[in-house]
Each structure stands twice: as structure tokens, then as C-alpha cells.
Amino acid sequence: MTIRIPQLSLVALIGPSGSGKSTFARKHFLASEVISSDACRALVADDENDQSATSDAFDVLYYIARKRLAAGRLTVVDATNVRPEDRKRLVELAREYHVLPSAIVFDLPERVCQDRNLSRPDRDFGPHVIRNQQQTMRKGLRGLEREGFRNFTVLKSVEDVEAATIERTKVWNDRREEHGPFDLIGDVHGCRDELVTLLERLGYGIGGTREAPQVTAPEGRKAVFVGDLVDRGPDSPGVLRLVMHMVGNGTAMCVPGNHDVKLQRKLAGRDVRVTHGLAETLEQLQAEPEEFKREAAKFIDALVSHYVLDDGKLVVAHAGLKQELQGRTSGRVREFALYGETTGETDEFGLPVRYDWARDYRGPAMVVYGHTPVPEAEWVNRTICIDTGCVFGGKLTALRYPEKELVSVAAAREYYAPIKPLIPAEDAMTAQAREATLLDLEDVSGKRVIETRVFRTVTIREENSIAALEVMSRFAIDPRWLVYLPPTMAPPETAKDGDLLERPQEAMAFFRQEGVASLVCEEKHMGSRAVIVLCRDAATAQRRLGIGDDGRGVLYTRTGRRFFNDRDLENALLDRLDLAMEHAGLWDELQSDWIVLDTELMPWSAKAQELLREQYAPTGAAATSALSAAGEWLAAAAARGIDVQGWQAQNASRHADATRFVDAYRHYCWSVNNLNDLKIAPFHVLASEGLMGLARDHRWHLDVAGRLAATDAALFRQTRHLYVDLADEASVAAAVQWWETLTAEGGEGMVIKPVEGLARGKRGLLQPAIKCRGREYLRIIYGPEYTEPQNLERLRQRGLRAKQSLAIREFALGIEGLQRFVDREPLYRVHECVFGVLALESEPVDVRL
């Protein structure tokens, strides 16, 4: 005998003690799929027969069952389940998680059970126990279906049990094997003409007659109707004929809408209120033969409430579907799919207020739905409503999947007057903006595991996300602006000897060893990192980023703070950048009306005032004053003939160190009185419409940056650079030579990158860049006297692993977030990555690296 069990089901094994349930379960199910009450008794009481522990044991059993069902796993409950009240709890549990309850009944002769128990010394209860259990069970068997077990099997003999096999069946809504491509079509409501035009535009061939249509689909494609084929519009029967034909010949799939279901109920003779356009449909149907009406009713009745398609990546339901209901089966799933959920309130038009499930949607599957007419189909998280109110004079819309393209046909006219105007109030925020203000704490808090496409999974620990939450919420700009935070950068392996800690040689050796052929060395500007988001105008910022009235762009720091508190200055800078973009022809070339740039803003003193006034300048002042006073006193003592020459030499050397330290920081400072005192050096185009810049090679980035600088040399500074062919020793030597020159002039140093943007080495993604900082610059980092030989030797013992690991994880997260932004993924998906970078920055790593 074959027992059919839905793939996702709660299976109750029913039978007295000794009826062979556990043995059966072992044979047909995974050990982890079976939860047995005996095992749970043992868990809580160390004895699987301790009846006093039964209540606690069942708490554990239900708890585990809940976790499994919530995760969508088949669960078998191995307990006697002979009393209706025991089974009632299981049915409730199944309904709670929208899975089908199934039962397998072990109604064996009493003798068999008694014999088996006698052979088990741990079961020392009397024979009456089994007798009672069996009687109770048999009394209830007839009611099983009424209890909710529409799917049950009774095994009556040992032979039955032996011969039984289990077949796991798919549920109706599971059409994961359908990979499309699909054309998902919004609410038609009897607008047959618009539907035909739309289908033709999508490439379908519509032939035959209205009564006997003949439809062919473009190669491999299939239409999917999101329901509400009928009511209100001019030709509901015509639409039904067309769709029934398409579903019949395999060119379409269809889920039912609430209007379709209501029509079916009316046709089936049920008492329904003839409102909301049903009257029009019924009138049109009068001209149709009875045969057609029967077929239509049958067709609608057979429709499945929703479909899970393409390996679970696409879900189609008329009114949409929450994640926890997808692929599930229950009355509530059907209700939600047909009508959505309401909050219990009514709006000013007397219509029920709908629960905006899409706003809270965080599931991985794309959900396409209709039901609620909207002026434009818009993405909200990973959902889209494609009911654009054709029958109300809007348009009929299709979504091409997986292309995510929208195709629309305008309604020939308004066929039905809407109760609520279709056009939203002027000040209503766009869906994107609305969504954006809705970041949920659960989107960022706690331990997080983020999949990145260029690297592996990045884990954010809870303590780091706690730290990031404080910084993010107290100091960072609006998360809608914050599409990217730059990663930290690792230095090269420490030079083993000589008077330097860092040199280009080690960096180049690293890349050569990893199989990289060509590098670019870029001068490292010493200022403050500034990410610039610029839109052509405030309307673009609103449309693309969902920013309401916060200007056309922003400059922010590496921790997400607004760079300038002076908005006029910020605006002036953004205007200059816009002009430069225009003159350099970059707006046209990028085919974008927004851009995100990675830049260094100089001077250092513009942003680092506090640091300079509180830390660097004081250290320099104290050091030079103290060492010069000491020098004078030592000189006087030496003049007296005291043997202090050694101390004098040492003091002189330290004094020189202190002076060089002051020179080092002064090099990066100048007074800023107006815009022209600022210098911006762009070095990466992070993103523009459709473009994830970090995937491009650095020749391109430097070319764009160079064109900006050439256009407005007063504000933009070139990033000097040198390409290196690692196979050519002269080229390598030239790079070293250039670094020496740069750093001798007081420059910070250089950044060495593989020319290709995303370089992979022997073990996967490589460091995108390595910074080689100059000897003088490092005084700012390691202190004035770090170059004294005894200090330098100790400082060579620096561990780089943590920094390297951090740099690559932050880089991967940054790219991930940018890519998501470019792909127009929901804000919470972008913010998760940006927040992750900030959180990683709170990991303990030597700050001097």
C-alpha cells in the first residue's frame, strides 16, 4: 500500500502502545523528522516511561514541532495520539503553521500489541492499558476527517504495516520546476482588448476567434495571470475564454482573484451580493451558453491560491503573500492570497484599511501580485503590485521575469469609476521613500551573517553591531544617502630591515606571488576620506534615493557623518562637481543622473581640526619645547666638562625627530577661508545608474578622475599614478623610485592596486589595494621618535593578519551594498551592508596599521 504524504506535513502516528509506530517511523522517515513522546519523556525525566513527566514531555514535543514547522520541515509525531483531544492539539499546530495534518493509524489486533509489550521489560503496565488505548482509538476513528485529518491511512494488520510505502507528494502550489521566463499580468477585469494588445506586445500570437481563441507563446515563455480576470470591465467572458484556453494549452498559468472566486460562487448557486461589478459580468454571461458557464465555474474552482515558481525564487498570489505563508496550505493562506489582510480599521472612503504586508516583507522570494490598484507598479522590498487599474482608466501592466521589465498598455477608457481616486495625494511619498523610513531594528541588530557575491559570508558579531547602532543612529546621515562606506586598507608586510617599516617592494612582491601581472601605483592623498553622492537635481534624489527635501547630494566621511555642517559650502561644492561632470561629458557618457564618488578631501586640517589641536600640535609643541630646554642644560653641563656627550647626542636626535614630526603634520595643513582652499581628489567612481564602478579597472577610474580634474583644476586634484608591469624589473624599480621621491617631498605615500578592479589570487579575492606609507608620514602614526633604531626594531613586530582580514571583509561588504543599491534592491538590503562595514570597524585592530 502506498501512503501519500504532502512534502510539508504534520504526520500524526496513531496507535496504542506496542502497535509498531516507532519501528515504522524509523523505517520510513529520517530520525530527525520523528519526535517521539517517549524520547521527550527521557529528555526531561531520564526515563522514557515516567508517566509523571508526560506533561513536560509534551511541552518539549510541541516546542520542537513548532520550530520544525516554522522552518518548513516535515514532522512526524510519534505518540499514541489515541484520544481526540491529543489529536486536536496537533491539528491546531498544523493550522498554526499552515501545513496539512496527516494521520497514519495502526489499528492492529490487540494480541500483537500485548505480545510486543510483554517482550519489553521496561513496559511493565498491565494489559488493560493497551485494551483501553485501543478502544479509545477505535471510537474516534470515524471522526478523524472531521477533526481535520483529510489525509489519513489505516493499517489493519502486521502485513499492511510491512507492505506500506510512503510517497511524499508535492503540494499544489509548488511549481518550483517551472523556470519561466514568465510574463506576469496584472488584474484584467474584463478588459479583453487591452489584454490582447498587451499579449501581442509581449510577443504572443493571438489567433482564432473570441469564442475559440488560438494563442501561441513566444519561445519558452509563459504568461502568469495574478487573478481578477472578471467584473467591472466590458468583456469578462471574453477574457475568461482567452485565459482558459491559454491555461489549457500550457501557454499560461493563473491564480484566482477575489472577483473570480465570487463569480464562481454565484455560478455555483451560492448567495453572494451582486456588487463591485459582478452585475456587469452576470449580464455579459447571459449571452453565453450554459456549457461555458459550467466550464468557467469549474476552471475557477480548480485554480490554486498561489504558486511558488522557479526554485522558490518567485511567488505569485493575487493579493500577495507574506513569507511565512508561501508554499503553505491552509484556509488562511488562501484568504490572504485572495484578499490580503486588513487592520480592522476603515479609511475616509469607508474601505477597509489594508495591512501593508509588503512594507514589512523581508523574504528572499520575489512576490508579484495585484488586487490593489496603484498608479504605477513600484518595487517595495522584493514585492511588486502590477494592478495598475486598467478598468478604472489606468493601464494593464505586465512584468517580464526574470528581466524585471514592465510593459504596459493604457486603458482605452475608464470602464468603471473607482470609489477611491487612483492618483495619490500630491505629498504622498514614493514607495521607495516610504519604505526607506522604515528600517527595522531587526534589519541590523544582533549577530548577522551577510552573503557577499564577491567573497564569502561575512559575519557581524553582536557586540560590534551594538557599537555600530550607537554611531549610526547618533551621528550618521540619513541611511538613504548612505549607500557605501569605504573599507579600511592594509599596509604591506613589514620591511625586515633598514630604516623603514613600509616599502612598495613588499606590496609588489605580494601581488606578484598571487599571480597579478599589472599594478597601478596611485599617490596617496593625505586629507580626509569623503564619499560624494550627487544627483542632477533634488527630484532625482527623491526618485532614485527616496530622499525627500534634503538637497541634491551629500558629502560624508568614512564613518557616515556629514562632512560639512555648512550647507551652503556643501551645496557650492556639489554644484561645482555637477558642472565639472557636465563639462567633462560624464553625465552623458555614464547615462546616469546620479553618481557616487570616492574621494579624498584636503587639507587634512579641514576636517581633523580637533585632532590637530588636541593631539598632534600639542605633542609637537611639548616635544620641541622640552627637548630644546634639555638640550640647553645638557650643553651647559658639557661645557663644565661633565661627561654627558652621549646624552647630548641622543637628545639632539630626539629633538630632530620632534621637529620632523611637526613638519610632517604641517605638510597636510593649510588655512581654509573659502571653497577654493579645498581640494578634492576623486579616485573611484563607486556607482552610477546601472553601473557598479568597483568592478571596473583602475585605468577607467583614473581616466574619469583625470577628466574631472582637467575641467576644474581649482577644486579637483589629479591623482598622480604610475602603471607597473611586474614582469619588467625596470618598471618595478621605477615605482620604488617614484615612491621615494613622493615621500621625500613629504607625501603620505602610495596605494598599490591590481589594475583590474576585482583581482583574484590563489585563494580567492585579493586585497584590492595596499598602502605604502612614507617614513615621515608614519611619525604621525607611530609617534615622533619611532625612527630611533631601538624603537623601529620593536615596531617591526606588528601583526597584520587581523587588519588584512578586516580590509577584505569590509571591501566585500562595500561592494555587496553598492551592487544591491545599483540593482535597486530594497533599502534594508543596502543598509545591512553599510551598517556591517561600520560594525566591523569596531573590531579591535591595531589602529596604527
Partner 1 sequence: MLLSLSTTVQPATDLGYLLVKHPDRAHEVELPFGTARVFYPQADESRCTAVLMLDIDPVGLVRGRGDGEGSLSQYVNDRPYVASSFLSVALKRVFGTAMAGTSKGRQEVADAPIPLEAEIPVLRCRGGEELLRNWFEPLGYAVDVERLPLDTRFLEWGESYYVRLRLSGNVRLRDLLTHLYVLLPAIDGDKHYYVGNDEIDKLLEKGGTWLSAHPQREAIVGRYLRRHKPLVRAALARLLDDEEDEIEAQEVRKEAVEEAIERPLSLNEQRMNAVVDVLRDLGARRVVDLGCGEGRLLGLLLKDRQFEHLLGIDVSLRSLDYAAQRLHFDRMPPMQRERITLAHGALTYRDRRIEGFDAACAIEVIEHMDLPRLPAFERALFGFAKPPSVVITTPNSEYNVRFPALSAGKFRHPDHRFEWTRAEFHAWADGVAERNGYVVRYAPVGVDDPEVGPPTQMAIFTRDAA
Q: What grid cell was written down for 774? A: 612614507
Q: How far apart are CA 50 and CA 62, in angstroms?
A: 18
User: Which position among 22, 494, 559, 619 is part of the footprint of partner 1 (CB under 8 A)?
Assistant: 619
In the bound state with partner 1, the residue whose beta carbon lies nearer, of 503 and 655, is: 655
User: Which position among 224, 309, 431, 472 is part of the footprint of partner 1 (CB under 8 A)?
Assistant: 472
- Contact positions with partner 1 (CB under 8 A) in 550-569: 550, 562
Number of residues that bind partner 1 (CB under 8 A): 73
Q: Please report where in the chains the cell 489549457 appears, as a residue.
A: 248
Q: Supply the DSSP symbol for 425.
A: P
Q: Residue 784 interacts with partner 1 (CB under 8 A)? A: yes
Q: Residue 93 interacts with partner 1 (CB under 8 A)? A: no
Q: Which stretch binds partner 1 (CB under 8 A): 212-220, 324-332, 621-629, 724-732?
A: 621-629
Q: How far apart are CA 283 and CA 295, in angstroms?
A: 17
Contact 226, 318 (CB under 8 A): yes
In the bound state with partner 1, the residue whose beta carbon lies nearer, of 26 and 613, is: 613
- Residue 564 CB: number of other CB atoms within 10 A? 19
Q: Which stretch binds partner 1 (CB under 8 A): 491-499, 682-690, 719-727, 791-799?
A: 791-799
In the bound state with partner 1, the residue whose beta carbon lies nearer, of 130 and 780, is: 780
Q: How far apart are CA 301 and CA 194, in angstroms?
A: 25
Q: How far apart are CA 355 and CA 111, in angstroms?
A: 57
Contact 664, 795 (CB under 8 A): no
Compute the least distance from the CB of residue 778 to partner 1, in Å: 11
In the bound state with partner 1, the residue whose beta carbon lies nearer, of 70 and 710, is: 70
- Contact positions with partner 1 (CB under 8 A) in 194-213: none
In the bound state with partner 1, the residue whose beta carbon lies nearer, of 118 and 636, is: 636
The helix (run of H) or strand (run of E) holding residue 683 is strand 679-688
- Using DSSP bridges, classify how beta strands 9-14 and 75-78 pair: parallel, antiparallel or unpaired: parallel
Residue 93 amino acid letter? L
User: What order of strands is seen across the sheet that includes strand 222-225?
Assistant: 252-254, 222-225, 182-185, 395-401, 405-410
Q: Which stretch binds partner 1 (CB under 8 A): 278-286, 572-580, 605-613, 703-711?
A: 605-613
Strands (E), 455-567: 458-460, 518-524, 528-535, 553-556
Q: Residue 659 interacts with partner 1 (CB under 8 A)? A: no
Residue 714 amino acid letter? A
User: Which position among 438, 675, 734, 736 is part of the footprint of partner 1 (CB under 8 A)?
Assistant: 438
Q: Residue 649 interacts with partner 1 (CB under 8 A)? A: no
Q: What grid cell was written down for 676? A: 577654493
Q: Residue 110 interacts with partner 1 (CB under 8 A)? A: no
User: Which position among 630, 652, 656, 734 is part of the footprint of partner 1 (CB under 8 A)?
Assistant: 630
Q: How far apart are CA 636 and CA 651, in angstroms?
A: 14
Q: Residue 805 interacts with partner 1 (CB under 8 A)? A: no
Compute the least distance from the CB of residue 621 to partner 1, in Å: 5
User: Which position among 292, 379, 647, 723 is part of the footprint of partner 1 (CB under 8 A)?
Assistant: 647
User: Which position among 437, 676, 737, 741 is part of the footprint of partner 1 (CB under 8 A)?
Assistant: 437
In the bound state with partner 1, the residue whose beta carbon lies nearer, of 147 and 341, is: 341
- Using DSSP bridges, classify how beta strands 553-556 and 528-535 pair: parallel, antiparallel or unpaired: antiparallel
The helix (run of H) or strand (run of E) holding residue 115 is helix 110-118
Compute the least distance from the CB of residue 628 to partner 1, in Å: 8
- Contact positions with partner 1 (CB under 8 A) in 670-729: 671
Hey, CA dihedral for 84, 90, 93, 99, is it positive or negative?
negative
Q: Which stretch binds partner 1 (CB under 8 A): 14-22, 29-37, 80-88, 666-674?
A: 666-674
User: Which position among 142, 273, 640, 763 is part of the footprint of partner 1 (CB under 8 A)?
Assistant: 640
β-partners of residue 35 are 77
Compute the least distance from the CB of residue 549 to partner 1, in Å: 9
Q: Residue 789 interacts with partner 1 (CB under 8 A)? A: no
Q: Residue 574 interacts with partner 1 (CB under 8 A)? A: no
Q: Which stretch binds partner 1 (CB under 8 A): 5-13, 55-63, 137-145, 628-636?
A: 628-636
Q: Residue 394 interacts with partner 1 (CB under 8 A)? A: no
Q: What grid cell was written down for 704? A: 574619469
User: Which position among 5, 10, 254, 439 is part of the footprint of partner 1 (CB under 8 A)?
Assistant: 439
Helix (H/G/I), strand (E/B), else coil: 275 = coil
Q: Residue 527 interacts with partner 1 (CB under 8 A)? A: no
Query: How many CA atoms lie within 13 Å of 359's alpha carbon, on the beta-carbon side?
Result: 13
For 226-245, give the DSSP string: -S--SSSSS-HHHHHHHHHH
Q: Residue 661 to residues 298, 334, 593, 621: CA-CA distances in angstroms?
A: 87, 73, 45, 10
Q: Residue 548 interacts with partner 1 (CB under 8 A)? A: yes
Q: How far apart are CA 398 and CA 408, in angstroms?
A: 6
User: Which position among 644, 652, 656, 675 is part of the footprint of partner 1 (CB under 8 A)?
Assistant: 644
Q: What grid cell was written down for 454? A: 564577491
Compute the least distance from the CB of residue 550 to partner 1, in Å: 5
Q: How far apart are CA 804 and CA 23, in angstroms?
A: 54
User: Which position among 474, 496, 762, 763 is part of the footprint of partner 1 (CB under 8 A)?
Assistant: 474
Q: Residue 424 interacts with partner 1 (CB under 8 A)? A: no
In the bound state with partner 1, the residue whose beta carbon lies nearer, of 159 and 440, is: 440
User: Which position among 70, 629, 710, 713 is part of the footprint of partner 1 (CB under 8 A)?
Assistant: 629
In the bound state with partner 1, the residue whose beta carbon lies nearer, of 327 and 491, is: 491
Compute the least distance from the CB of residue 636 to partner 1, in Å: 3
Q: How far apart are CA 129 and CA 123, in angstroms?
A: 11
Q: Residue 440 interacts with partner 1 (CB under 8 A)? A: yes
Contact 205, 338 (CB under 8 A): no
Considering just the CA atoms, what is the radius of gyration of the chain in Å? 36
Q: Residue 528 interacts with partner 1 (CB under 8 A)? A: no
In the bound state with partner 1, the residue whose beta carbon lies nearer, of 609 and 737, is: 609
Q: Residue 786 interacts with partner 1 (CB under 8 A)? A: yes
Compute the least distance from the CB of residue 273 to partner 1, in Å: 28
Cα 816 from chain centroid? 9
Q: Residue 30 interacts with partner 1 (CB under 8 A)? A: no
Contact 598, 487 (CB under 8 A): no
User: Which position among 157, 625, 676, 737 is part of the footprint of partner 1 (CB under 8 A)?
Assistant: 625
Q: Residue 6 to residues 10, 170, 676: CA-CA distances in angstroms?
A: 9, 6, 72
User: Which position among 99, 380, 612, 770 is part of the footprint of partner 1 (CB under 8 A)?
Assistant: 612
The helix (run of H) or strand (run of E) holding residue 605 is helix 604-607
- Contact positions with partner 1 (CB under 8 A) in 723-782: 780-782
